[in-house]
Every structure is written in structure tokens, then in C-alpha cells.
A = this chain, B = another copy of it.
Amino acid sequence: MWKYEVAVDWKEGKTGESRCAGKPAIEVATPPEFGGPENIWTPEDLLTGAVSTCIMTSALFFIDRAKIQMRSYKSNAVGTMEKGPAGLEITRIEVEVSIELEDPAQEEAVRKALEQAEKTCPLSNSLKCPVALVVNVG
């Protein structure tokens, strides 16, 4: 069992600060569409980024294990929030990953690593909604 502890304190208006011991604080706020300010991380941004980060960290585990050499790994994630019967909820997260390999012959291996990451990502496992992963290898 693992525990993760985070403090969130209100500052003023619709803003606050999220802190985790030894790590840089993150300013947080209500999204602009619900009366919050611009240019501050919102819960929905953080969740979308957390899931996409979890896909990456899970992928790095399998990529390492398969001795795959990457030049780069870039990803873009889009989280969708909709009104459902129980109120607002995240209904889908789409993650598109683009990988450049040192050796193009490792394409099949890296695709398998990403498949394994998708299946084992703890954050995807924790959400009710689907996490859709698209992988481009160049």
C-alpha cells in the first residue's frame, strides 16, 4: 500500500495553492468557465495531466525493460467533462503519444510497451471513464 499526501489551501477569490512535501507549489483555481481566473491550473487540467503522466511513467517502465532507446516521447491529452445524471463528470480522456526511436526496428516493441502501459496505468484503472490511447511511432 502506498500513500500520497497533498495540502490544498485557499488563497483568495477562486484561487488556492497545492503543495506536496519537497516539491514546488502549484497555484490552482476554479476554471474560467466557472468564474475562475485565466492561466492557472484547474482540477480538470491536473487530472488530465496526471492520467497522461501515468501513461508515460508506466510506458517508461516497459520501455526500459524491453531495452528500447527513444529519441523523444511527446504526448497530448484531452479530458472531456460533461453533465451526466449525477452532475458534472469526466467522461473521456484521450491521450495521443508520439515517439521517435533510435532504431526504427523497435517499433513493434515500443507499441507493445505502450499497450502494456495502457493496461496497467494505475490512474486509468481508478477512473470510471475510458482512457483512449493513440500511439504514433516515427
**Interfacial residues, chain A to chain B (CB-CB below 8 A):** 1-10, 14, 16, 18, 20, 22-24, 26-31, 33-36, 38-57, 60-61, 70, 72-82, 84, 86-90, 119-120, 122-123, 125-129
Contact = CB atoms under 8 A, between A and B. Distances in A.
Contacts of A20: 41, 45, 49
Contact of A123 (B4, B26, B47): B47
Number of copies: 2
A95 to B, nearest CB: 8
B1 A82 contact: yes
Given A7-B75, A127-B128, A1 B47 contact: no
Given A18-B52, A61-B30, A122 B89 contact: yes
Contact of A49 (B26, B40, B52, B126): B26
